[in-house]
């Protein structure tokens, strides 16, 4: 049996809003990417809002759970291919030369990635630039923007 293609690994660290996770799951199915959820989650994965946002694609999702951020990082073969999305970065995601299998990591909706992660991986942190006066984008929208750029580069 052939291995299923995996364009990207999308990681949500402690996601809080079930609708966002459902939407991101749907994006992962559409982009042939894997969704990784790092516990604790701010909802039950059986929440109907997760399933509703993911529509009938949820059964096609390659979904993996991780008990902690450290457990996740221990599984990644090349940590240099992990990119952390935060408003506190100097570089933008346009600076990444995406490769198949890259890991795109996002923090909680309310406060983003923990300071310790941002400090530890400062050189791999990127932001999505925007000229308006909002503090950040919705999590599902941010994932969609990065996936779009990544897929464009892989094409």
Inter-helix orientation angle 18-31/139-154, to 10°: 10
Average pLDDT over residues 86-108: 97
pLDDT at 42: 85
Whether residue 128 is predicted with pLDDT greater than 80 in this model: the reply is: yes
The overall average pLDDT reported for the chain is 91
Average pLDDT over residues 113-133: 95
Positive or negative CA dihedral for 76, 79, 85, 87? positive
Tell me if the pTM is above 0.85. Answer: yes
- Of the two residues 118 and 57, the one the predictor is more confident about is 118
Q: Give the residue from 40, 11, 43, 14 showing the smallest Cα distance to 24.
A: 11
Q: How far apart are the first and last CA of the chain?
A: 25
Q: Give the residue from 77, 101, 146, 91 showing the smallest Cα distance to 123.
A: 91
Count of CA atoms in the C-beta half-sphere (13 A) of 132: 5
Count of CA atoms in the C-beta half-sphere (13 A) of 93: 29
If pLDDT is split at 50, 70 and 90, which confidence band does 2 have?
very low
Cα distance between residue 103 and residue 81, in whole Å: 6
If pLDDT is split at 50, 70 and 90, which confidence band does 43 have?
confident
Domains and CATH numbers, the chain: 8-154 (3.40.1280.10)
Pairing outcome for strands 82-85 and 8-13: unpaired
Question: Which range among 3-7, 54-58, 84-88, 112-116 shows the weakest confidence by mean pLDDT?
Answer: 54-58
pLDDT at 54: 54
Average pLDDT over residues 49-64: 75
């Amino acid at each position: 049996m052939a291995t299923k293609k995996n364009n990207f690994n999308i990681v949500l660290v402690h996601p809080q809003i079930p609708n966002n996770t459902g939407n991101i799951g749907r994006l992962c199915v559409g982009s042939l990417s894997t969704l990784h959820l790092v516990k604790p989650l701010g909802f039950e994965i059986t929440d109907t809002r997760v399933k509703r946002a993911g529509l009938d694609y949820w059964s096609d999702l390659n979904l993996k759970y991780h008990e902690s951020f450290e457990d996740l990082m221990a599984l990644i073969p090349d940590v240099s291919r992990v990119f952390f999305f935060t408003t506190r970065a100097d570089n933008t995601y346009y600076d990444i030369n995406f490769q198949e299998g890259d890991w795109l990591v996002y923090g909680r909706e309310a406060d983003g990635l923990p300071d310790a992660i941002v400090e530890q991986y400062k050189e791999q942190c990127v932001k999505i630039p925007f000229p308006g006066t909002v503090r950040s984008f919705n999590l599902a929208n941010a994932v969609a923007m990065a996936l779009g750029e990544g897929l464009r580069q892989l094409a």
